[in-house]
Amino acid sequence: MLLDENLDIRLAMSITGHSVSTVRAEGWVGVLNGELLRRAEEAGFEVFVTADRNLQYQQALSKRAFGTVILFPRRLKLEFLLALLPDLTEAVAVVGPGQVLHVHPQD
């Protein structure tokens, strides 16, 4: 699983049961989305997690060899990301290649 650079890297430490890396750890900070997705695919990541709500409209995610999970936290602060963790874990378990799943806060 690869976490996008728009997510707090501390989120990676809270995800259990999966191998998790970050865009920062891969040395890809600042890489444009198309190139970033290509690199993630070539590196063999199975899931890409982001909070970029426009990504699905800007990139052909259905053609990717990995699934994408888009988070919709109330804010990008760690506490709001951690609130999505149970649903994120579930989404990561079921998302398939080329699929896009959304994770929203539960009200």
Q: What is the average pLDDT across 4-12?
A: 95
- pLDDT at position 17 is 87
- Contact call for residues 33 and 101 (beta carbons, < 8 A): no
Global confidence as pTM = 0.95
What is the arrangement of strands in the sheet containing 100-103, beginning at the earlier edge strand? 21-22, 2-3, 47-50, 67-71, 100-103
Predicted local confidence at residue 106, as pLDDT: 85
Average pLDDT over residues 29-33: 95
Q: Check whether 91 has a pLDDT greater than 90.
A: yes
